[in-house]
Amino acid sequence: MFLKSENLCKSYKTGDVVTHVLKDVNISIEKGEIAAILGPSGSGKSTFLNIIGGIDRQDSGKVVIDGVEISNMSDKELVEYRRNEVGFIFQFYNLVPNLTVKENIEVAVNISKNPLSIDDVLKAVSMEDKKYRFPRELSGGEQQRVSIARAIVKNPKLLLCDEPTGALDYETSLDILKLIENINKKFKTTILIITHNTALSAMASKIFKLRSGEVADQIENKNVMPAERIEW
Ligand SMILES: Nc1ncnc2c1ncn2[C@@H]1O[C@H](COP(=O)(O)OP(=O)(O)OP(=O)(O)O)[C@@H](O)[C@H]1O
Ligand SMILES: [Mg+2]
């Protein structure tokens, strides 16, 4: 198993009120798989993804990625893990506004151990002709392509996508999903996608439904559909 969470728990305390956001979440994903997490707003999806990606910490439970337990790493080890093993794609791109497309990707290259070539990844996301533009000179879909390039240039083992198409129209969303699918095929990257959109989960071989911090359902999808055939 490539990714495994065991009895993962997380709560937040605001004032005297404790909210249990993750309650014994157990999830397993095989290497090279595309998995989806579905669930209503507030069900704990982002919290879960952030712990898997080493951005946040669990209260209890265990996370193992490719045979290495990350849940007991020191802060320093966790930074290395985040830099070298994980690519993140967010709903609102999170590009650095005063850096060009190329420079945004260079930031990731400079901190990673085995980066791919910037030109290759720009080609992979069809942005090679816009590498000297600034984020404000790009459409939302183009900005998301750049953020995908930035995530994959590190050649990460794991790509975590938090509502990657949440801010995009239908056609652009399909383009981005096709891109994510191609990355999975080309680099054998294990991919975990969070979405509100049940239709998107058709491209995942495993689907987890979160409800109030619990895995309410887990589906093995035997008929994975290519992104280009997904409709909603
Ligand atoms: N830093 C924090 N402090 C306090 N509560 C938090 C914090 N982060 C998240 N929460 C709470 O944890 C719960 C789960 O949040 P989370 O962001 O994981 O939900 P989500 O499933 O990603 O929702 P959405 O679909 O709206 O993005 C929410 O009730 C939220 O208010
Ligand atoms: Mg979220």
The pLDDT value given to residue 27: 97
Q: Global pTM?
A: 0.95
Distance 162 CA to ligand 1 centre (A): 13
158-162 and 190-195 as β-strands: parallel, antiparallel, unpaired? parallel
The pLDDT value given to residue 105: 97
State whether the beta carbon of 43 lies less than 6 angstroms from ligand 1. Answer: yes
Distance 45 CA to ligand 2 centre (A): 6
The pLDDT value given to residue 231: 87
Q: Which residues of the chain have pLDDT under 70?
A: none
Give the number of the atom of ligand 1 that is nearest the alpha carbon of residue 213.
14
Q: What is the pLDDT of residues 88-130, one digit of tens each?
A: 999 999 999 999 999 999 999 999 998 999 999 999 899 999 9
The pLDDT value given to residue 197: 86
Distance 31 CA to ligand 2 centre (A): 24
State whether the beta carbon of 12 lies less than 6 angstroms from ligand 1. Answer: yes
The pLDDT value given to residue 232: 86
The pLDDT value given to residue 59: 98
The pLDDT value given to residue 153: 95
State whether the beta carbon of 191 lies less than 6 angstroms from ligand 1. Answer: no
The 3 state secondary structure assigned to the chain is CCEEEEEEEEEEEECCEEEEEEEEEEEEECCCCEEEEECCCCCCHHHHHHHHCCCCCCCEEEEEECCEECCCCCHHHHHHHHHHHEEEECCCCCCCCCCCHHHHHHHHHHCCCCCCCHHHHHHHCCCHHHCCCCHHHCCHHHHHHHHHHHHHCCCCCEEEEECCCCCCCHHHHHHHHHHHHHHHHHHCCEEEEEECCHHHHHHCCEEEEEECCEEEEEEECCCCCCHHHCCC
State whether the beta carbon of 195 lies less than 6 angstroms from ligand 1. Answer: no
Distance 229 CA to ligand 1 centre (A): 32
Domains of the chain (ranges, CATH numbers): 3-229 (3.40.50.300)
The pLDDT value given to residue 16: 94
Distance 8 CA to ligand 1 centre (A): 15
Residue whose CA lies nearest to ligand 1 atom number 31: 42
Please give the Cα distance from 106 to 28 (Å, whole number). Answer: 33
Q: What is the pLDDT of residues 47-71, one digit of tens each?
A: 999 999 999 999 999 999 999 999 9
